[in-house]
Amino acid sequence: MKSRYSRGFTLIELLVVIAIIGLLATFSVVQFANAREKARDAKRLSEIKQIRTALEMYKDRYGAYPNATDGDDASGGYDIGCIGGPSGTDTFISELRTSGILQKTICDPRGTTNANSYMYYRYAAGSSGCDVARGAFYVLIIMTLESTTTPSPTSPGWSCPSRDWSTAGGAGLGYTPAWVTGAFEN
């Protein structure tokens, strides 16, 4: 007499195993994608820290923050980082590179379009109702973070009495930036 177990797998058992492997593979791909998003966000925050340090070094050397020189955004004001990629002609806050403070072009890790970049602008003293005695100030923005809500809970924010850059209307972008900071010259 042949045992029922010597015949091998049944079709149902085989389909169950294939389904389980498919679920595990799907879960792994989703987790990998989430890990990549978090890694790109960590790089963005690290690069913003480098940019902030470079801006302070520039101010210490020249007595003021650099102006936004190329006005990449639609309103012609903000300097938007690295359009055209690291080898492109658009250098984010070009004075940081030409002065030798930054050695490389800093680009958003995901893309080189306006939707995935850093933004910078230097405002004149007293702009948006800020205290004139505090001098000019800059606003530095990460437009998109992938792994967190907007605005990010880690965003320090930046505002003056008549403008809050952490909001869609305040930043003048039509949508809420993911992360914003700024600093006064005085």
Would you kindly state where each structural domain of the chain is located, as residue ranges?
10-184
pLDDT band at 123 (very low <50, low <70, confident <90, very high): very high
Mean pLDDT, the chain, rounded, equals 83
Q: How much is the pLDDT for 87?
A: 55
Q: What is the pTM of this model?
A: 0.78
pLDDT band at 169 (very low <50, low <70, confident <90, very high): confident
Report the pLDDT averaged over residues 159-183. Answer: 85
CA distances in angstroms from 68 to 53, 101, 124, 139, listed in the order given = 17, 16, 12, 10
pLDDT exceeds 70 at position 105: yes
pLDDT band at 108 (very low <50, low <70, confident <90, very high): confident
pLDDT band at 4 (very low <50, low <70, confident <90, very high): low
How far apart (Å, rounded) are the C-alpha atoms in residues 44 and 120? 14
Structure confidence by residue, pLDDT tens digits, 27-72: 888 888 889 889 989 999 999 999 999 999 999 999 999 987 765 6
Q: What is the DSSP letter of 60?
A: H
Rounded percentage of the chain residues whose pLDDT exceeds 90: 40
Paired strand residues for 184:
137
The sign of the CA dihedral 147, 107, 97, 77 is: negative
Q: How much is the pLDDT for 34?
A: 86
Q: Which two tokens stand for residue 98?
A: 């030409």
Within a 10 A sphere around the Cβ of 10, how many other Cβ atoms? 10
Rounded percentage of the chain residues whose pLDDT exceeds 70: 82
